[in-house]
Amino acid sequence: MSGIAGIVNLDGAPVDPVLVERFEEFLRSRGPDNTGRWVDGNVVLVHTLFATTEESRGERQPTSLDGEVWIVADARIDARDDLIRDLTARGRACSKQRPDAELILHAYAVWGEGCVEHLLGDFAFAIWDAREQKLFCARDHFGVKPFFYAHVRDCVIFSNTLDCIREHEDVSDELDELFIADFLLFEVGRDFDRTAFEAIRRLPPACVLVTRRGQLLTRLYWSLPADQPPRFSRQRDYEEHFLHLLAKAVGDRLRTNKAAILISGGLDSSSVAALAKRLLETRGRSYKLTAHTLAYHQLFPFPETEYARIVASFLDIPIYPFAFDQYRPFEGWDQPGVQTPEPTTNILMIGSRSFVSSAASSARVALTGQGGDAVFVALSWRYCRQLLQRGRFGRLAVDGFRHLTEARRWQRLRAGYALAWWKNREGRHVPDIYPEWLNPDLERRLALRDRFLEGEAPAVPQEAVRPEAHRLLMRTFWSRMFEGFDWGWNRALQDVRHPFFDIRLVGFMLSLPAWPWCSEKTLLRKSMQGLLPDEIRFRPKAPMPADPQMAHWKDGPPPSLDDFRPTAELERFVRWDMVPQISAATTSMAARTHLRPVCLSFWLQAVGHIDYKTA
């Protein structure tokens, strides 16, 4: 959550002090606790502190251990005791009271660029090594912390806030056509490294960035594991190991006595809330834990709020329902300073920001259940086919028996149920709609029809136990979603954390077969016995009753949308005369597809009105 930025003039020219002031001023709002800078001729590092742990109180960045190697970081390092033990064994004198940025510096001193292979947690950092005249940057494994950079002329600019980089006078405002095209096709960019601006790039998750001989090089330092399934001697061992890993993931993200839980009433976020409550109680100190949930009072029946209340009552923590249906589509989009760094299809953006801000008023740290569906996703039919193809009939019989005996699943042997299961074995999937209103020249130059048909199909290792889980976790959607929780998008002073994206937990989960543990989250349901009420543990997965964005238009969209007049810049990407009237859309997917040009037009107009170079 802290703000980081830096400039390195590779030609040795001194950094313009006016730019340093701009960067500091821009980032001050996301780091109100302290502001620091380090300048050494052609290099400047800027940091604004948002303290969320005991170790970070009073922290000063940029920081150095020897005056030669300096760091700015927005980081939370997990498994600190293990890391400190490893560092101490290698002659480094570091204590448990040291801030996370200093632990990264110690790791860099021991392992050099390989330090990232020894770090767990969520982090985005930049290290300037004066001895080697080298800039070394890294982003965490799943891209929870954002990191952006630009290489213009002989200058490298970086920050964890995209709009901050745009303040540099040499960074062009030219749009990245392929990114914008992806937004119109899929609602999200399909390339990890692209942004809406041609000159600015994202550092992909699990990647490092290094300057060498005037060039920028990036490389991947980690990929999803594809280990073979563990075989414990007792079924209870699976539950205990899983619960141990999830508790560690929650504990490492809860290095504070004051936290908020963004709870939905579902199993994932409720489990995180239960473990957070148990952990805070065992510390023997006063604490404050609050639950925050969405509520819909007018649009449609929404039982999730009541389930969230049941969880909060069981755990004896206060809950604050947030009336989300009070916000209207596109509300406030024409107000200065409201638009996001990149285009978005969240037409209820003001409501989303208000919800996160309301939770931020209770605590600086929030936990979510995001990722629970991804790590447990399982296609039972695919698992059966794998075992049959490999001739493992005994394993199929054993795992099938265990699966059917869990939660009284014997009734699923009925022919009718089996037929329905086979018909829907791929899960519910609403196909994307190809937008025929794309600018023909853009469509031809970028081969957009082929790109649409290819979609996003990440390469999955052959040995993957559950390829569907690998494929889902490797989507660009996740890093974009994490950025949506960041101050750069929502302007809320809160560090939002996601325990299910702990790489120790993910590694274990990816090694488990669909049966009996992953299908319908059996392992999580069993592990939470006694920690959650059975009403929550055994409730089936419930889809959203309706699309909240579309539900506002039960009787059709307002006429103003059909009469909408886009900004002239939109012609570069869209033939507006070909966009169907929103009122003519027969499905929610069609309406969402044809709203993308409207969303893009709003964003283009906002971007055109902001002069980042003089603002």
How confident is the model at residue 403, as a pLDDT? 66
Count CA within 13 A, CB hemisphere, residue 348. Answer: 19
Domains in the chain: boundaries: 3-220, 235-375+467-537, 380-424, 548-609
Amino acid at site 341: P
Say which residues have a Cβ less than 8 Å from residue 122's Cβ, sequence separation at least 6. Answer: 75, 76, 140, 142, 144, 145, 497
Low-confidence ranges of the chain (pLDDT < 50): 408, 410-414, 417, 421-430, 610-615
- Cα–Cα distance for residue pair 332/336, rounded to 1 Å: 9
Name residue 255's amino acid. R
Query: What is the per-residue pLDDT for 396?
Result: 65
pLDDT score recorded for residue 452: 94
pLDDT score of 402? 66
**Which residues lie closer than 8 Å to 478 by C-beta, 6 or more apart?**
142, 143, 205, 371, 374, 501
pLDDT number for residue 417:
46
What pLDDT was estimated at residue 74? Answer: 98
Residue 535 sits at φ, ψ, to 5 deg, of -60, -30
- Return the CATH number of 3-220, one of 3.40.50.1000, 3.30.230.10, 3.50.50.60, 3.60.20.10: 3.60.20.10
**Which overall architecture, per CATH, does domain 235-375+467-537 show?**
3-Layer(aba) Sandwich (3.40)
Spatial neighbors of 298 by CB under 8 A, at least 6 apart, are: 325
Helices (H) and strands (E) in the chain, counts: 24, 17
Give CA separation, 533 vs 183, 314, 460, in Å. Answer: 41, 7, 37
Q: What is the pLDDT of residue 428?
A: 46
> Which is nearest to 61 in space by CA: 97, 91, 105?
105
What are the C-alpha distances in Å from 341 to residues 163, 165, 538, 570, 607? Answer: 6, 11, 41, 17, 9
Per-residue pLDDT tens digits for 472-515: 999 999 999 999 999 999 999 999 999 999 999 999 999 998 88
Predicted pLDDT of residue 387 = 64
Q: Which pLDDT score, from 0 to 100, does residue 506 have? A: 96
Contacts of 366 (CB under 8 A, 6+ apart): 259, 260, 261, 262, 292, 356, 359, 360, 494, 495, 496, 497
What is the residue type of 178? L
The residues with which 124 forms a beta bridge, in sequence order, are 74, 139
